[in-house]
Chain A
Amino acid sequence: MSVIKQHGIYAIAVILLSALMTHSPLAAPAREQPAVVAPFYTKAEYPPPKVGSYKLPPFGVAADGRVIDADGKEGRLHDFFGHGKIILLSFIYSTCSDVNGCPLATAVMYDIQRKIKNDPVLRDRLQMLSLSFDPVYDTPEVLSLYGGGYADAGNWRFLTTASWKELEPILDSYNQPVIRDVDEQGRELSTFSHILRVFLIDPEKRIRNIYSVSFLYPELIINDAKTILQDSVPKYERYSPNELIKVSELSRPGDYKGGYETSGYVTQSQSVAERTGEKADLSHYLVRPPLGLPAIPQPEDNPVTHAKVELGRKLFFDRRLSLNDTFSCAMCHIPEQGFTNHELAIAVGLEGRSGRRNSPTIYNTGYLSRLFHDGREESLEQQVWGPLLAVNEMANPSVGAVIGKIRKIPDYAGMFEAAFNGRGVSMETLGMAIASYERLLVSGNSPFDRWHYGGETNILSESAKRGYALFTGKAGCVSCHQIGTEAALFTDDAMHNTGVGYRESMGIKPEKEKILVAPGVYLEVDREIIDAVGHPPPADVGLYEVTQNPHDRWKYHTPSLRNIALTAPYMHNGSLSTLREVVDFYNEGGIENELLDVRIKPLGLSEGEREDLVAFLESLTGDNVDTIIADAFAAPIGDITEADPNWANQKASHE
């Protein structure tokens, strides 16, 4: 009893379980209490290490499954993880009588709940979940009774499952075997034998710690949670359950906005000054393309060379290539944002002029024969000049103006001549140089490729495998996002009407727009307020603008799905923020209009099937993304220096 005096929580745990016992229909005989109780009940043996002074590397993905909450609402376990939250997950059952088992987990979580009540960091960022492993006795009603007292704070949910069939795969994936206890006659009791395991899971659903009885301390868990929130471990790393596959450390925006729609949003901003990289030789992909991709096509008159790639890369990041020195290609095709722009649905150009469409990614564009969303260009060499001369992009007044300016910039002296056998900068050589760099931005050898083309059977999660079956079967995605026998570009390189463009042109805007004004804070703003400060959006009729054929209205190019997890927001107008929204869009059959592609129709996919499709899409991220981005970071960003001629302020400089 001296133990109780040392720690009141022990008393709480005992009271808690004795109270619950009275509700048990088939109460197990009281267990013999262990001689040694968990350290939690007495005193932590060591002070927890300082937040951020250590690392908790991820070691596996937290599995999903179908669950039911204490209100009887059905959903996926991941749905209860929330956005941007750290998850503390325990497995319990309400009739558990082992003081070092479920009651310990519950008591520790209760103590954490009290401790973080006023903690500005964890209060809204730590979500605790207790999942029952007794689907028979732990009905939502029982759980509601068990967890009722803790649920008020909103950061602790009690979950159960509909049946053993639903529960078993979850327990398997968390490596949490349970055995139902039997009495001497072999009759089943209401108790289970199990090892206590409590999981700490990060916002990317990766397991970062597993606690057992010996170190299940509130203080330690709190510091671990804070350390994870603080650490700069990449947010886009993905691991398969069987092997740690590093996908990308660098492909994350410097200004992470995951979960901004909620009041629990926490910044994970990167330092601008510390964005540095290392040059890479990407030309070996010419000899051997990444698994899953065909040979990189090279035009006869523009074979890729080191000198051209080097020059093209420098040009790609040079902001002086715009009328007023503020725009390079990379301002809209940002390397760490999937060579697109996460921060804008629709691009913005020189002087803030409105674009009409979302910036497409540069990854794997070397394989395409139709470029731009409306497919109006046919080669990278030619495409380059589109943005350079578009008045709402880089806004150069003429080809000559660009060529003339580059001739005056001292750091390009001799570079074109060296790359093009003595030919200087011209309309042709500039296009060739930038196209040569872009051509090498190929990305494959994704988990999908290693599974599908490489025969690594365990590389893909079961969910992604089911997603593949849907992608190529029931959902029919593959009919446009094609997969070949030797390689997959995930595009038919053709033009289709999905109704997104039709809706933009013909849809009626609601009278009030729901606008996010701060993390988790929305306002319903009157249309007239928005209209007072905005110009009407420019027209966009898709391929029709190129062909003038009315049958081509609102047709846009099928994008590749490779690296799709890195290139949000989606669709030609950036109107969908997440892959899940995209899957939902197609599941509903697109937007009805007379020219809607016949392949687009309602799919009737279940919730789980849609999640599986998302898991499949997430498996399409190439393994060389880091190399490509590091190489991009190593390129100098071209801004005006003292060495440049002062072209816009000649008079002032002579005064």
Chain B
Amino acid sequence: MQKQHKGTFSRILMAASLAATTLFTAMPARTVADETCQSPYMAKIVGQEDFVYVWTLGVDGLGDGQDKLVTVDVNPKSMNYGKVINSLSVGGRNEAHHSGFTDDRRYLWAGGLDTNKLFIFDVHTDPAKPQLHKVVTDFVAKSGGVVGPHTTYALPGRMMITGLSNNQDHGGRTALVEYTNEGEYVATHWIPTDQNLQGAKKGGNFADGYGYDIRALPRRNVMVTSSFTGWSNYMMDFGKMLQDKEAMKRFGNTVVVWDLHTRKPKKVLDVPGAPLEVRCAWESENNWCLTTTALTSKIWMIYEDETGEWQAKEIADVGDPSKVPLPVDISLLADDSGLWVNTFMDGTSRFFDLSDPHNPKQTYEKKIAAQVNMVSESWDGKRAYYTSSLLANWDKKGQDNEQYFKAYHWDGKQLTEQFSIDFVKEKLGRAHQMRFGAYSLYANNRSTEKGQSAVAAK
């Protein structure tokens, strides 16, 4: 069965991408829904998303205590709207964090920042009931010592995985690791260090070799990576870390611009204060990406100047930096006209108007809860979903440790809550990364897939 599947894989892939292209060109006026922050290489959902897959951290003493992929039904027309319809435990607490689909959107890859496992879920056989397809357990050994698989980013036929740490000192120096969609190791691309800049230009004072997120801007042939911190810091008690003078020196201060084609670093830019999520513009004239720095609370723009040189500049403060609001997840609108920025410490989601992208202005804010981390919005910008957890040991302690999934509607002026799921009450855990699923993605195979599900269910 598996072999047969592999043999037809490239044809299916091609069919899927052809189908996606056809849908886009044939029905431009139709509402297209998807979170806006994923790989441009990836197939898109047509219409309303049916599911949100929430990669959830197990909590010792809560339910089975394991990490799990939780499926929430988000289609208002469904009988199960607003309910958890599936929960798939994967074993252990792995510091579940980010996840991403393969370009054909048949598999969801989810990383464990602690145990370095990659969980590959089959989401196409039955989108309502993902199955654990494969677990990669030798990521560290295969990659030559990379620890903390973070972003799983779709490139054609391949997954680019950013690391956060290494197996030598659990510090921040790390690499990008490339796998095939089938889960075979391809290559390790180390983030440039002073000892080996790999031909990259050091644009300022720093070449720390740290990693975090990755996005590509294919029309400019660049990849952009950001930098967070190593295992010791992201795993430890947040309050303890803030008071550890040595630990606080171990945060990333760089963004690296890479040649997408050759996978060679081109330039290391100084972006001090732990730049996290990277979002690249969608519009063809916008040769820039945005990131926010967690510790210094600023929005930075990574842009190509008139001479074709890549530069970084800070373009706005997020909240009052002296209060450490801690900007975490961000979401860029599909037409680049605005940016959602969540600040963890005050549990607030903030909307920045990007009419002048070089000069963002905050025009709206709403407190979501005592703490907030991730935000995912639909392609049309009308729906936004929120989750609570940042990292197991960084989340708030005591009563403020609210763990939830919340769905909102956005009318351009305000966010209105539709429903909320308490992940503690449901004995699920800490809700983190969200990815959208839909039956419509797999329309060609739908009847067959359903048939298989039925057989499996017996």
Contact = CB atoms under 8 A, between A and B. Distances in A.
B232 to A, nearest CB: 5
A257 B250 contact: yes
A31 interface: no
A214 interface: no
Contacts of A652: 91, 132, 134-135
Given A260-B249, A525-B242, A270 B395 contact: no
Contact of A518 (B174, B238, B243, B296): B296
Interface in B224-239: 230-232, 234-239
Contacts of A574: 244, 246
A523 B95 CA distance: 29
Contact of A232 (B194, B293, B296, B397): B194
A343 B273 CA distance: 17
Classify the interface of chain A: helix, strand, loop or mixed: loop
A155 B143 CA distance: 44
A352 interface: yes
Nearest to A533: B238
Contact of B232 (A344, A515, A534, A642): A344
A212 interface: no
Interface stretch (B45-53, B97-105, B203-211): B203-211
A533 B209 CA distance: 28
B13 interface: no
B248 A517 contact: yes
Interface string A258-282: 0010001111111111110000000
Contacts of A515: 242-243, 248
A604 to B, nearest CB: 28
B167 A534 contact: no
Given A255-B209, A518-B296, A577 B169 contact: no
A637 B132 contact: no
Interface residues of A, number: 75
A519 B239 contact: no
Contacts of A125: 205
A387 B74 CA distance: 47
B400 interface: yes
Given A525-B242, A529-B324, A533-B395, A232 B295 contact: no
Contacts of A525: 242, 324
A628 B166 CA distance: 21
Interface string B108-129: 0000001111000000000000
Contacts of A319: 140, 167
B171 A254 contact: yes
A274 B195 contact: yes
B249 A532 contact: no
B455 to A, nearest CB: 16
A342 B322 CA distance: 28
Interface string B170-207: 11111100000000000010100111100000111111
A533 B394 contact: yes
24 contacts: A230-B194, A255-B171, A269-B193, A269-B208, A270-B173, A273-B196, A319-B167, A324-B114, A326-B147, A344-B232, A352-B392, A517-B248, A523-B321, A532-B400, A533-B237, A533-B394, A535-B397, A569-B245, A640-B138, A641-B141, A648-B115, A649-B91, A652-B91, A655-B133
Minimum-distance CB pairs A-B, first 9: A534-B239, A352-B235, A518-B272, A269-B193, A533-B238, A517-B295, A271-B196, A639-B140, A518-B273
Given A351-B93, A641-B138, A655-B133, 5 more contacts: A254-B169, A255-B172, A269-B208, A345-B245, A644-B137
